[in-house]
Structure 1
Amino acid sequence: MRLGTDYLDVYLLHNMNPSNWEAVKKHDGFTFLDKMIEKGKIRHKGFSIHNSLKAFKEVVDSFDWEMAQIQLNILGETMQAGVEGLKYAADKGLAVVIMEPLMGGYLLNNVPAEVNELIQSYPEKRSLVEWCFRWLYNMPETSVILSGTSSLAQLKENLRIFDQATPNVMSDEDQEFIHKIRDAFESKKSIGCTGCWYCMPCPQGVAIPEVFKLYNSYQLMNDPHDKLMYQSRIVPFGAGADQCISCGICAQNCPQGLQIPELLETTHTELKA
């Protein structure tokens, strides 16, 4: 009764990374889920995952899941489970929930000027947020799209966008437009950090998300203020990327699969210059 309810609509096994997945198999988590369903404690069983397509398919095929939660967005068509994983799970009868549709806000906080120019010049007048969501709900295999909001205005915009959500609405020209947006993002040397903080705390005290945030800002805007902030507010307090000893703990915990130690070396070289 600690949850204040008699049953759970969906019991989600969180983040089936290699170690968690092995633990589920070792402790026979499947039997536990089935027993809880028999007792009426849970109604549906699902899992979330940040892993390769191969690993995703292994989890899908190992149990009679009803739901899978995957990361997918316009920059991640082939990352992790990707679009192929979405279709694979849907073909198996699973509902598929999409997380990180805006990469934790990364897609909105790191917009290259080229992307804004593309959006302004395209005949269909939609915001980047709407294009990101539209690309996802256009695929009929998508069941639910999770979207975090931090203001009433964002909530109202989401309600407006999803009130019109219909699959198979994007033309070939729209799909080509998404490719151009993707290319514009990828032409920048930015780091796909969503600021989830799974990499923290760093044993050496490196402020990893903050360092990446400054680096991305500098790559997009070329503002010397970002370098100044790094050199005056980060490095002097022992939180700079130069403190990294490549222990790799951060990389093991990164849902995006970023090679953080290598990226920290790059960021320090760029921001310290």
Structure 2
Amino acid sequence: MSDAVTLHGPRRIVCLTEEPTETLYALGEQDRIVGISGFTVRPPEARREKPKVSAFTSAKIGAILALRPDMAIGFSDIQADIAAELVRNGVEVWISNHRSVDGIVDYVRRLGALVGVPARANTYADSLQRGLDEVAARAATLPRRPRVYFEEWDDPPITGIRWVAELLRIAGGDDVFPELAAEPLAKQRILADAGEVVRRAPGIIIGSWCGKKFRPDRVAARPGWDAIPAVRDGELHEVKSPLILQPGPAALTDGVRALAAIVHGWSQRERARGRG
């Protein structure tokens, strides 16, 4: 069934985070967007075309209201204060709170339904799932799976969120802190003892320090970390945060493929080191 031609749903949307912007562009519904997050990089035309009115933990409420939105879309409890202020000013707000790969796929379907293009959204979501299945099928051919420490912030060290751990598994690796990945809040994923990374001995370290460049030299210089196999073998890698730390299409496409490239590269180098 095709989507109706008549325009349904909100017509003037402010995207407080990146994933609704990328999703609406992918669905061909970008004309509904009147404002975006200043962190938006995907697609690049969004950054050129749309006014930037929010960060992640703050927003220009006056600028948003001047755009006369009929809906604002954001993510997580971290944006609760922004949402409350907009609601007090008469703006309808949808704050999604999905934290898993399945949740991201479902988010695409829900957002599409919200703007009146459910068939198009289902087709797009199905294509995202097929891409994940293809990555998983290739990962199944690896002779063994590496143990991976994923760090999304360095001071204090914060481990990866649930969808990152799930994408690592799809890409062929295993998160060394699965019990922390299940925690929804960043403060619950702070490593109280960074020495635990040494004890868990990851073969790969991946950094995605939100908003700043990953520094593998600083990681390798941490006390005692020279004993970690990943440090010993030089397996410290970066995945840019816009690709993996926003719960939208980027993570399910370029993000998971970046993880898979690191895992498969490690596997090839392990064979060359006589360990594969």
Q: Same fold (TM over 0.5)?
A: no
Higher strand share: 2
Report 1 or 2 for greater relative contact order, CA contacts < 8 Å, sequence distance ≥ 6. Answer: 2
